[in-house]
C-alpha cells in the first residue's frame, strides 16, 4: 500500500500536494507495521498518510510553507504526528499549505499553489486552504488520510472544495505541541479523510491529553468509530437563519435544503434557530487571528530558526530583523503581522482587540443558548461556493478571500467541533460540502450525524 501511494505521488507531482517526500521513512514504518500485523496491531497499522507542513516532524523539513523556515528540521516530533506513528500510521511526506496557514486557497505557499484534482473545463481550481495540499492529496488518492489544521476553516473549507471529509475537533482535543502556531486560541489539528469512518478512526489516533500543551483537555479519548451507529432518530438539528446570507447562490441553498431533508428522513427533528451575533464573526476573527499571529510570529528573528538575510557592512541587529523578515515572509503574512500589531497597539487595543474579544464571547453564548435549548447539532453550508479558479478575483483582493470563511470561523471562535462532509455538486459537477457543528466534546455524536449525511 505504501509503495502504491509513493508511486501515485510521483505520478501526481503536477498537483503540488506533497512538497517534501519521505519514502525512506515510509518504507521503514511500513516494514515495522508489517511485523506487527495481526489482531493486536494498532488502529492505523500500515495506513499511509500525509502530514501538513505546519506539523514539526523530527529530522524532516517543516517549513509551514514559509521562506523564513527554510532549512528548519525540527529535533522533535509534534504530539499529533507522533501519536499517529504510535498508532501505526506511515508518513509519506509533508503537504503543501498556505504560508503559516494564512489563506483560503493555498496560493500564499512558498512552494507555489496546490492544485485541486477536480477540474472545471480546463480551469485550474484551488483545493482551498490553508490545508490545500492535504485536501488535494486525499481527493487524488495519494494517501488514505492527511493531517490538517483549522484556525478559521482550514480543514473544513478545503475538504468541501475537494469532496472529502474533514473534522475540526473541540479546541483542546488535539495537542498543539509541535504545531507551528498561527493563532493559538483558535488553532486545532484534525483529520482529512475519504469518509466519516476514516475520520473517526484517525481522530481517535490523533487526539488525547498532552501535558506539553497547557490548553490540552485532560479527558479520556472516546471510541469515535463505535459512535457511528447511523441512528440519529430524535436528534434535534438546528438551522441558523443568520447563515442564509444575502446573495447566496441557489445551488448552495439547494444543498442546504437537501441536507435538511436527508437528516429528516433519517428521523432527526429539524428546527429553525437563531445565532444573532453571526454577522460579527468574520470581522472579529480577522482581528483576533492576526493579533495572535503577530505575537506568535515575533520568534522568526533570523536567529532562532531558518532563514537569515545577507547583511551589508554596517548593518546592525535592527537591519538584520528587518531584512530577514521582509525576505522570509510573504505578502499575506506581512499583512497579518501589520494588522495584528495595529489592533494590539496601545491606542487601538480597546477599539479593536478588546471589542473583538467581547464579540467572541457573545458568539460563544449564541451557541450555548441553542445547545442549552436542546439542539444537538447545527447544519450549515461549509462554504459560500464551490472551488474557485486559481489566480482569479479573490486572490487579488484579501477581503474577498476572507469572505470565504464566513460559515467556518464562528466555530473556531466558540471552540466547538465542526465537520465538513461532501454532500452534492454545483451546476458544473464540482463538489460541495455541508457543515455540522456539535456540542463541545461530543465529536462522536457529531461524526454520527455526519455519517447520516453520507
Residue 52 vs 83, nearer CB to ligand GLN: 52
Q: For residue 257, which of 246, 249, 310 has the smallest C-alpha distance?
A: 249
Backbone angles phi, psi at 50, to 5 degrees: -110, 150
Say whether residue 109 binds ligand GLN (CB under 6 A): no
Least distance in angstroms from the C-beta of 281 to ligand GLN: 12
153 interacts with ligand GLN by CB under 6 A: yes
- Say whether residue 102 binds ligand GLN (CB under 6 A): yes
Nearest to ligand GLN of 199, 268 (CB atom): 199
At closest approach, how far in Å is the CB of 93 from ligand GLN? 20
CA atoms within 13 A on the CB side of 290: 24
Minimum distance from residue 314 beta carbon to ligand GLN (Å): 38
Catalytic residue among 81, 105, 109, 130: 130
User: Does 103 participate in binding ligand GLN (rule CB under 6 A)?
Assistant: yes
| Closer residue to ligand GLN (CB): 74 or 148 | 148
Which CB, 60 or 102, lies closer to ligand GLN?
102
Cell 477599539, residue located: 351
Is 13 an annotated catalytic residue? no
Q: How many CA atoms lie within 13 Å of 375's alpha carbon, on the beta-carbon side? A: 25
Give me the least distance between CB of 108 and ligand GLN, in Å please.
8
Site size toward ligand GLN (CB under 6 A) is 14
Looking at 102-110, 202-210, 358-366, 381-389, which segment touches ligand GLN (CB under 6 A)? 102-110
Residue 5 vs 64, nearer CB to ligand GLN: 64
Our finding on whether 105 is near ligand GLN (CB under 6 A) is no
User: For residues 116 and 151, which CB has a smaller minimum distance to ligand GLN in the complex?
Assistant: 151
Nearer to ligand GLN, 30 or 289 (CB): 289
Our finding on whether 281 is near ligand GLN (CB under 6 A) is no
Binding mask 42-81 for ligand GLN (x = CB under 6 A): ----------------------------------------
Query: Using the rule CB under 6 A, is 104 a contact of ligand GLN?
Result: yes
For the window 182-221, what string marks contact with ligand GLN as x by the rule CB under 6 A? x---------------------------------------
| Sign of the four-CA dihedral 224, 228, 234, 238 | positive
Binding to ligand GLN (CB under 6 A) within 113-152 occurs at: 130, 149-152
Minimal distance, residue 405 CB to ligand GLN, in Å: 5
With binding defined as CB under 6 A, does residue 154 bind ligand GLN? yes
Return the number of the residue (88 or 178) whose C-beta is nearest ligand GLN.
178
Q: Is 52 a catalytic residue?
A: yes
385 touches ligand GLN by CB under 6 A: no
Residue-level length of the chain = 454
Query: 66 an active-site residue?
Result: no
Cα separation of 163 and 431, whole Å?
Answer: 5
State the residue number with the nearest CB to ligand GLN.
154
Catalytic choice (66, 131, 134, 154): 154
Binding site for ligand GLN (CB under 6 A): 101-104, 130, 149-154, 182, 289, 405
Q: Which residues are catalytic?
A: 52, 130, 154
Amino acid at each position: 500500500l505504501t509503495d502504491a501511494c509513493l508511486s501515485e505521488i510521483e505520478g501526481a507531482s503536477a498537483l503540488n500536494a506533497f512538497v517534501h517526500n519521505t519514502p525512506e521513512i515510509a518504507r521503514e514504518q511500513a516494514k515495522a507495521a508489517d511485523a506487527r500485523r495481526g489482531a493486536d496491531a494498532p488502529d492505523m497499522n500500515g495506513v499511509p498518510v500525509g502530514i501538513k507542513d505546519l506539523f514539526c516532524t523530527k529530522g524532516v523539513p517543516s517549513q509551514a510553507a514559509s521562506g523564513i523556515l527554510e532549512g528548519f528540521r525540527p529535533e522533535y516530533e509534534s504530539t499529533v504526528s507522533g501519536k499517529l506513528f504510535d498508532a501505526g500510521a506511515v508518513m509519506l511526506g509533508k503537504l503543501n499549505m498556505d504560508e503559516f496557514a494564512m489563506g483560503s486557497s493555498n496560493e500564499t505557499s512558498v512552494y507555489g499553489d496546490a492544485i485541486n484534482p477536480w477540474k472545471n473545463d480546463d480551469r485550474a481550481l484551488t483545493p482551498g486552504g490553508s490545508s490545500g495540499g492535504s485536501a488535494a492529496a486525499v481527493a487524488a488518492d495519494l494517501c488514505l488520510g492527511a493531517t490538517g489544521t483549522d484556525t478559521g476553516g482550514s480543514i473544513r473549507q478545503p475538504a468541501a472544495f475537494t469532496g472529502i471529509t474533514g473534522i475540526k475537533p473541540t479546541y483542546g482535543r488535539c495537542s498543539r505541541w509541535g504545531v507551528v502556531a498561527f493563532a493559538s486560541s483558535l488553532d486545532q489539528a484534525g483529520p482529512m479523510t475519504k469518509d466519516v469512518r476514516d475520520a473517526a478512526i484517525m481522530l481517535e489516533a490523533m487526539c488525547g491529553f498532552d501535558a506539553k500543551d497547557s490548553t490540552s483537555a485532560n479527558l479520556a479519548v472516546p471510541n469515535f468509530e463505535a459512535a457511528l451507529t447511523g441512528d440519529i432518530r430524535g436528534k434535534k438539528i438546528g438551522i441558523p437563519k443568520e447563515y442564509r446570507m444575502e446573495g447566496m447562490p441557489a445551488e448552495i441553498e439547494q444543498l442546504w435544503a437537501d441536507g435538511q431533508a436527508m437528516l429528516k428522513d433519517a428521523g432527526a427533528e429539524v428546527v429553525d434557530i437563531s445565532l444573532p451575533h453571526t454577522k460579527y464573526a468574520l470581522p472579529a476573527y480577522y482581528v483576533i487571528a492576526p493579533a495572535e499571529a503577530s505575537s506568535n510570529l515575533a520568534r522568526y528573528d533570523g536567529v532562532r530558526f531558518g532563514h537569515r538575510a545577507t547583511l551589508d557592512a554596517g548593518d546592525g541587529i535592527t537591519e538584520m530583523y528587518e531584512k530577514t523578515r521582509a525576505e522570509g515572509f510573504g505578502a499575506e503574512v506581512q499583512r497579518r503581522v501589520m494588522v495584528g500589531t495595529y489592533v494590539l497597539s496601545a491606542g487601538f487595543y480597546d477599539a479593536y482587540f478588546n471589542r473583538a474579544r467581547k464579540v467572541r464571547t457573545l458568539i460563544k453564548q449564541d451557541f450555548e443558548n441553542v445547545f442549552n435549548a436542546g439542539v444537538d447539532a447545527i447544519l450549515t453550508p461549509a462554504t459560500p461556493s464551490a472551488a474557485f479558479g486559481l489566480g482569479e478575483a479573490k486572490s487579488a483582493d484579501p477581503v474577498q478571500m476572507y469572505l470565504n470563511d464566513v460559515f467556518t470561523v464562528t466555530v473556531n471562535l466558540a471552540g466547538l467541533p465542526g465537520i465538513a462532509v461532501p454532500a452534492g455538486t454545483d451546476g458544473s459537477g464540482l463538489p460541495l460540502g455541508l457543515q455540522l457543528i456539535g456540542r463541545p466534546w461530543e465529536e462522536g455524536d457529531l461524526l454520527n450525524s455526519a455519517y447520516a449525511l453520507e
